[in-house]
């Protein structure tokens, strides 16, 4: 436990001076957040985004979720729809539905739904939400509370956003079709940045993230079975290139790398993967 706390302290010290965080899902696979809406859509009563994406692996909170299906794991095809109500100039409520299936793991299907309230204080933002996970192939499900806080730092035309997110599983327990142990939790520290390359059309969005596990993920005991644990989970780095086609459509590709500290079940210590998505904003 002392080693885990030391690792967490080092990670905080490294990330805090720069950082911007997000667990990412809101598209589940820890990709960068969706591209910003066009200016004319940011001040409307409501706005919506529809995204279709593909990931070479289903990496979620450091775990290669579909690793057991093949030597490397299955790729994932997913669709995400979110609708945001702009309640005031500083308050918004977002409803999101995410649906995915494994491409070489055709029996794997997952549907998640979330509701998130966000308040901004200038460049500071804070959110609190609830998410329901349903894994239809295994009949597992989970209920999760989520909280996040972050700050947008403007350095010329570059935006750097450090953030901290915390996720708490409400159950059910794994013995009663729960996806994780009841009361398990996960802490994510993440730094994202947005670097314009050509006007507001092409940009680079690198990120670095660190995860701390509180009985959320399981380590491999050496016999193919898992044991839930507390401690350092993984560190992840990646970069994406969003390209705005027009005021409604953006395409993006990304590459990422994750190193896990404690032999996470079904996951190699070092993992590379990538993907692409297209987003329509309304």
Q: Cβ(118)–Cβ(92) under 8 Å? A: yes
CATH number at residue 259: 2.40.160.160
State the DSSP code for 2: H
Q: What is the band of 12 on the pLDDT scale with cuts at 50, 70, 90?
A: very low
Name the burial class of residue 44, with classes exposed (0-12), middle (13-18) and buried (19+) by CB atoms within 10 angstroms of its CB: exposed
Report the Cα–Cα distance between both ends of the chain, in Å, rounded.
Answer: 48
Q: Cβ(153)–Cβ(159) under 8 Å? A: yes
Phi-psi category of 139—alpha, beta or left, where left has phi over 0 and alpha has psi -120 to 50? left
Identify the top-confidence range among 73-77, 102-106, 275-279. 275-279
Q: Cβ(181)–Cβ(169) under 8 Å? A: yes
Beta strands, E only, 33-75? 46-55, 59-60, 63-64
pLDDT at 118: 98
Give the pLDDT confidence of 78-130 residue by residue, as tens digits.
999 999 999 999 999 999 999 999 998 778 999 999 999 999 999 999 999 99
State the DSSP code for 174: G
Give residue 152's domain range.
2-281
Q: Does pLDDT of 200 surpass 90? A: yes
State the DSSP code for 188: E
In the chain, helix, strand, coil percent, each to 5? 10, 60, 30
The secondary structure element, H or E, covering residue 125 is strand 124-135
Q: Does pLDDT of 20 surpass 60? A: no
pLDDT at 36: 52
The tokens for 120 are 């901004």
Rounded distance, CA 81 to CA 114, Å? 11
Q: 13: helix, coil or strand?
A: helix
The secondary structure element, H or E, covering residue 162 is strand 158-171
pLDDT at 182: 95
Rounded distance, CA 244 to CA 41, Å? 15
Is the model more confident about 150 or about 179?
A: 150
The tokens for 52 are 């279709």
Q: What is the band of 225 on the pLDDT scale with cuts at 50, 70, 90?
A: confident
Q: Cβ(141)–Cβ(178) under 8 Å? A: yes
How many separate domains does the chain show? 1
């Amino acid at each position: 436990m002392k080693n885990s706390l030391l690792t967490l302290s080092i990670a905080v010290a490294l990330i805090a001076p720069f950082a911007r965080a997000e667990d990412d899902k809101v598209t589940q696979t820890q990709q960068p957040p969706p591209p910003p809406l066009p200016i004319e859509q940011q001040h409307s009563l409501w706005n919506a985004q529809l995204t279709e994406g593909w990931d070479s692996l289903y990496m979620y909170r450091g775990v290669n979720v579909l690793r057991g299906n093949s030597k490397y794991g299955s790729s994932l095809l997913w669709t995400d729809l979110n609708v945001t109500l702009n309640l005031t100039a500083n308050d918004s409520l977002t409803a999101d539905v995410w649906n995915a299936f494994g491409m070489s793991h055709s029996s794997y299907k997952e549907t998640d739904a979330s509701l998130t309230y966000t308040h901004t204080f200038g460049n500071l933002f804070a959110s609190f939400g609830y998410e329901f996970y349903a894994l239809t192939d295994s009949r597992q499900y989970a209920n999760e509370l989520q909280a996040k806080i972050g700050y947008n730092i403007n350095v010329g035309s570059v935006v750097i956003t450090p953030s901290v997110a915390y996720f708490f599983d409400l159950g059910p327990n794994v013995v009663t079709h729960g996806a994780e142990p009841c009361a398990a939790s996960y802490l994510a520290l993440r730094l994202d940045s947005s670097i314009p390359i050509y006007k507001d059309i092409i940009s680079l969005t690198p990120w670095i993230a660190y995860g701390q596990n509180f009985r959320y993920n399981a380590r491999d005991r050496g016999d193919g079975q898992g044991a839930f644990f507390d401690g350092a989970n993984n560190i992840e780095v990646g970069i994406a290139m969003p390209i705005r086609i027009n005021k409604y459509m953006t395409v993006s590709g990304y590459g990422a790398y994750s190193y896990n500290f404690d032999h996470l079940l079904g996951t190699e210590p070092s993992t590379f993967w990538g993907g692409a998505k297209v987003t329509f904003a309304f």
